Chains A and B, each alone.
Chain A
Amino acid sequence: MVRAVAMACGLGLFVLLWHIVAKQGGRIPEPGAVWEAATRIFADPFYSKGPNDQGIGWNVLKSLERVAIGFGMAALVGIPLGFMIGRWRFLADMAAPLVALLRPVSPLAWLPIGLLLFKAANPAAIYVIFVCSLWPMIVNTAAGVRLVPQDYLNVARVLKLPEWQVFTKILFPAVLPHVITGVRLSIGVAWLVIVAAEMLTGGVGIGFWVWDEWNNLKVEHIIIAIITIGLVGLALEQALVLLARRFSYGG
């Protein structure tokens, strides 16, 4: 209860400060004006008047679709790779310098390579999501495999479980919480990066929508986009926290 009050106070203070800043003149719209614009935009989020004028709903969905494809491919590649790197020392040593070198690179630096490879903006954006989602997934899965308690592996040895059962009955469930952590971090990064990537590649998408509204000087819409991006990111995060709780085995 106290928490809810504190949260409400925080949001209220933010809106108040915003209001004061907006009152000083300049181009920042007041909260009321943004609210009005938002009611108009969200009254019909799924209209479509040609490729360059679509509702905010379509833009968000298009961005989510790119994230889902890029992230999904990264999961398909990164999770098995993480398992292998975690299980075999030699592979881990092979991968270590590559991961160390490439992980700190901003995902957007990969965009020109994507454009070069795919000769189109949309697959290049997906490719950037793929690259940036890959690292957290590999690193967390591999760490999870290395952290499987020796007790569980001893059970596997005493029971002489065949390798496939070691994987399905011991490794996979033991590593799953780490995989979900990797997925959560990846989705977070992917949602950050897609906005920036779309600003550069154009087309339909919430990132390009922000850029478009900037060109139209509709600052209210930019603020609406920022809040929308935040809410979608929050929803993704919460969904994965729920998933993680489901697989935590009560400690």
Chain B
Amino acid sequence: MAADKYLRIEGVGMAFAGYPALAGIDLAVRKGEFVTLIGHSGCGKSTLLNLVAGLLKPTSGAIILAEREVAGPGPDRGVVFQNHSLLPWLTCFGNVHLAVGRVFKSALRERTQAALALVGLSDAAQKYPHQISGGMKQRVGIARALAMEPKVLLLDEPFGALDALTRATLQDELMRIVERTGSTVLMVTHDVDEAVLLSDRVVMMTTGPAARIGEVLEVNLPRPRDRLALAADPRSVALRARALTFLYEKATPRARLVAVNE
């Protein structure tokens, strides 16, 4: 198995009722790599993630994960949804346990507890989702995805609904977890700082219709990364500037207009 092409997105196009959302997307993700998809709202980055998740079927092209074509959703891809999507009638433990039970046959309790411990929520195991904060819910979502030991972790703007401080804490925590587990991650975001801080590569998408990959930014910053040190680091500043330039000048003229109006 070619470790540098662990996840392959090959010539993928996606149309919804005749509207072309994505066209000719080619991307290969290495094993253990952290790749973010960034672009303006509605550029189809979440669509691409859902295609990898198998929740949507591509109109053309194929997605291959560990030499097997993605034919539908499955627990080998751990998805963290933007709005956490925890089942409100199950405790945090129950939510993670449900996922663990789909993949493993033994030591379900231990695995569930280990996943909750990984995100620092051992104490909240018996709480219901409505009893914990938004950031904690998102952590349970991450624990649920990681507990299945997926081949790839798919994050759909996981911190989009959180306040800035909670978001920063969770980003740091995600970096620590990914470092420890060596996970392969594909993450959707619209936050340039977040993309540069977390990723090995930032994939920048043009604005639709028929969105495609515009530019790919290699983030060669050493790990472990420290957000405070990186804030002033000239390499990091240059990378963020390049991403911003792409988003605000190259994405498409229409995107620029929208951005100005916002």
Q: In whole angstroms, how far apart are the Cα atoms of A169 and B94 in the complex?
A: 10
Per the bound structure, the CA–CA distance linking A170 and B88 in Å amounts to: 10
Closest chain B residue to A176 by CB distance?
B89
A198 to B54, CA, bound (A): 58
C-alpha spacing A154/B55, complex, angstroms: 7
Taking the closest CB of chain A, its distance from the CB of B148, in whole angstroms, is 8
A158 at the interface (CB under 8 A from B): yes
Bound-complex Cα distance A101 to B102 (A):
45
The residue in B72, B75, B78, B87 that gathers the most chain A C-beta atoms within 10 A of its C-beta is B87
Is the CB of A151 closer than 8 A to any CB of chain B?
yes
Flag whether A103 is at the interface (Cβ < 8 A): no
Task: Tell me, in angstroms, the Cα distance from A151 to B79 when the chains sit together.
Answer: 12
- Taking CB atoms, residues of chain B closer than 8 Å to A174 are 89
- Asked if A249 and B130 make an inter-chain contact with CB atoms under 8 angstroms apart, the answer reads yes
Inter-chain contact A152/B55, CB cutoff 8 Å: no
With contacts A151-B85, A249-B128, A250-B88 taken as known, whether A158 is within 8 angstroms of B77 at the C-beta atoms is yes
Inter-chain contacts of B122 with A (CB < 8 A): none
Q: Does A159 sit at the interface, judged by CB under 8 A?
A: yes
A151 to B86 alpha-carbon distance, docked (Å):
9
Contact check, A250 vs B87: say whether CB atoms are below 8 A apart.
no
CA distance in complex: A161, B54 (Å): 14
A173's partner among B53, B78, B79, B87 (CB-CB below 8 A) is B87
Distance in angstroms between the alpha carbons of A249 and B108 in the assembled complex:
25
Q: Given A158-B55, A173-B87, A151 and B81 touching (CB < 8 A)?
A: yes
Assuming the contacts A151-B83, A250-B130, A250-B131, asked whether A160 and B74 have C-beta atoms less than 8 A apart, the reply is yes
Please, how many residues of chain A have a CB less than 8 angstroms from a CB on the other chain? 16
| CB-contacts of A191-240 with B (<8 A) | none
Query: Hey, which chain A residues are within 8 Å of B131, CB to CB?
Result: 250
Tell me if B62 counts as interface (CB < 8 A to partner A): no
The answer to the question of A27 belonging to the interface, with a C-beta cut-off of 8 Å to chain B, is no
Interface hub of B78, B81, B85 (most chain A Cβ within 10 A): B85
Residue among A155, A170, A174, A250 facing the most chain B CB atoms (10 A cut-off): A155
Residues in B whose Cβ lies below 8 Å from that of A157: 54-55, 72-73
Does the CB pair A154–B102 fall under 8 Å?
no
Decide: B89 and A160 in contact? CB cutoff 8 A: no
B130 to A251, Cβ gap below 8 A?
A: yes
Does any Cβ of A come within 8 Å of B161's Cβ?
no
Within 8 A of A (CB), among B59-114: 72-75, 77-79, 81, 83, 85, 87-90, 98-99, 102
Do residues B98 and A249 form an inter-chain contact, with CB atoms below 8 A?
no
| A159 close to B130 (CB less than 8 A) | no
A169 touching B98 by the CB < 8 A rule? yes
| Between-chain CB contacts (< 8 Å), 8 pairs | A151-B81, A152-B87, A154-B79, A157-B72, A157-B73, A159-B99, A250-B88, A250-B130
Q: 5 more A-B contacts (CB under 8 A) besides A154-B55, A250-B128?
A: A152-B87, A154-B81, A154-B85, A158-B74, A158-B77
B interface residues, Cβ below 8 angstroms from A:
53-55, 72-75, 77-79, 81, 83, 85, 87-90, 98-99, 102, 128, 130-131
